């Protein structure tokens, strides 16, 4: 892998991990379209570490305030929201992995993401939501959405934010809770994938290439979080819905 390929992969990871368009789906289609060699598990872990760091930096003050206030209810809601993804990964992890080699399935799941986003947009056109994630039902529904996002092409942020909005949570609270949910989810994915890394055999050139991807993913992740917050504030989620539908349909016809 070259530095250019590492930077491009980091850029795609950082932007699509948090923008509601599915990072896994875009990386699969990117490598297939340009003929890139599939990256190793260690590089994938590095990119996810970069995006995890961007979440911790972006939401750092809020995370600290939760810790200072010892907000047990918010922690309970996060625990409830995390359970479905953990169960799905343990029960169907191997089956889910098979979809990563099938670009046609990825395109279909991207189409599904687009439909979910457009449904959330229609909900925003109706009565304005004002609630937070203070009850188990919205937390669990957002957790189910996060479990579905294990499939490549289902956006984690798009599905969880859509589930929150459709269950009566305000756009800002759905945004915040979605990315608080991502911390244990991404951390769990890092731990799970790290088990199969083995001896990385890193040299100076490899460290340089991978570092470029991590830094790019981190910066792109910060930028995408700012963009998504603005999109939700101005209720323009349909931009991403139309985009995902278009990419999904293009992929279905291409492959």
What is the per-residue pLDDT for 225?
Answer: 95
Parse the chain into domains and list their residue ranges: 3-254
Residues 109-120, mean pLDDT to the nearest whole number: 96
Express each pLDDT in 168-178 by its tens digit. 999 999 999 99
Express each pLDDT in 223-240 by its tens digit. 999 999 999 999 999 999
Express each pLDDT in 126-163 by its tens digit. 767 777 888 899 999 999 999 999 998 999 999 999 99
pTM: 0.88
CB 68 within 8 A of CB 236: no
Distance (Å, whole) CA 110 – CA 90: 23
Question: Is the per-residue pLDDT at 218 higher than 70?
Answer: yes
Question: Is the per-residue pLDDT at 199 higher than 50?
Answer: no
**137 class by beta-carbon count within 10 Å (0-12 exposed, 13-18 middle, 19+ buried):** exposed
Residues 7-29, mean pLDDT to the nearest whole number: 83
pLDDT-derived band at 5 (thresholds 50, 70, 90) equals: confident
Proportion of the chain above pLDDT 70, given as a percent: 90
Residues 89-102, mean pLDDT to the nearest whole number: 83
Distance (Å, whole) CA 48 – CA 42: 10
Output the six-digit token pair for 178. Answer: 């979605």
What is the per-residue pLDDT for 198?
Answer: 53
pLDDT-derived band at 31 (thresholds 50, 70, 90) equals: low
Q: At what angle do helices 72-98 and 171-194 cross, to 10 degrees?
A: 50
Distance (Å, whole) CA 63 – CA 59: 6
Residue 208, SS3 per DSSP:
helix
């Amino acid at each position: 892998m070259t530095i250019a390929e590492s930077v491009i992969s980091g850029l795609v990871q950082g932007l699509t991990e948090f923008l509601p368009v599915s990072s896994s789906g875009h990386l699969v289609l990117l490598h297939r379209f340009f003929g890139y060699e599939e990256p190793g598990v260690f590089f994938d872990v590095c990119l996810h570490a970069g995006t995890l760091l961007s979440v911790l930096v972006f939401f750092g003050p809020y995370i600290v305030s939760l810790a200072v206030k010892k907000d047990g209810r918010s922690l309970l809601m996060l625990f409830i929201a995390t359970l479905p993804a953990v169960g799905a990964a343990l029960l169907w992890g191997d089956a889910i992995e098979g979809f990563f080699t099938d670009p046609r399935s990825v395109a279909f799941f991207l189409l599904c993401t687009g439909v979910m986003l457009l449904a959330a947009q229609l909900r925003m056109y109706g009565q304005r939501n004002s609630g937070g994630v203070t009850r188990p039902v919205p937390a669990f529904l957002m957790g189910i959405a996060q479990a579905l996002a294990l499939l490549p092409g289902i956006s984690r942020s798009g599905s969880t934010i859509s589930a929150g909005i459709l269950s009566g949570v305000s756009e800002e609270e759905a945004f915040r809770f979605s990315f608080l949910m991502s911390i244990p989810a991404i951390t769990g994915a890092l731990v799970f994938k790290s088990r199969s890394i083995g001896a990385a055999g890193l040299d100076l050139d490899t460290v340089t290439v991978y570092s470029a991807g991590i830094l790019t993913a981190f910066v792109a992740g910060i930028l995408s979080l700012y963009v998504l917050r603005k999109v939700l504030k101005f209720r323009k989620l349909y931009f991403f819905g139309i985009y995902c539908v278009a990419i999904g349909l293009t992929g279905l016809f291409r492959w």
